[in-house]
Structures are given as structure tokens and as C-alpha cells.
């Protein structure tokens, strides 16, 4: 299954949840916010949210800004 993560194509083997993707990216427990197809997925729902072919995932964090 292929999805887009922050605009980059990513290949996932078999079924995966959003929490699995976050773990694979070593972002578990970090201060991030996630959208799938422009809808925010609250942190409490990452474990139960299944990823689907073609999903566009955006993962953001806070950086320096004015």
C-alpha cells in the first residue's frame, strides 16, 4: 500500500494504523499533530485509525518562528 507522508510517497507493507506509521518514523511520544486527507486525527485516535491506500498524511511539529 502506498501513502503520501508530508508530500513524499511511502510504501507500507500490509495493514497499518497511524500509530504504527508514527512508531516507524520514531515520532512516538513527540509533540506532533497529524492530519489524514486534511482532517485532524486527535492523538487519542492514532491507535485505532487505519491507513488506506492513497491517504495523504501530514505530520507537523513546532519550530522556531516569529
Chain positions contacting other proteins, by CB under 8 A: 5-8, 10, 25-27, 30-35, 38, 40, 42-43, 58-66
The kind and range of the H/E element at 36 are: strand 33-36
User: How many angstroms separate the CA atoms of 53 and 15, rounded?
Assistant: 10
Give the nearer residue to other proteins in terms of CB position, either 33 or 50.
33
Give the nearer residue to other proteins in terms of CB position, either 5 or 51.
5
Minimum CB distance to other proteins, residue 23 (Å):
11
Q: Which single residue is written with the C-alpha cell 510517497?
A: 9
Amino acid at each position: 500500500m502506498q501513502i503520501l507522508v508530508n508530500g513524499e510517497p511511502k510504501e507500507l507493507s500490509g495493514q497499518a494504523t497511524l500509530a504504527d506509521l508514527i512508531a516507524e518514523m520514531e515520532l512516538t511520544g513527540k509533540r506532533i499533530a497529524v492530519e489524514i486527507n486534511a482532517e485532524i486525527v486527535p492523538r487519542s485516535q492514532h491507535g485505532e485509525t487505519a491507513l488506506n491506500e492513497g491517504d495523504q498524511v501530514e505530520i507537523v511539529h513546532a519550530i522556531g518562528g516569529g
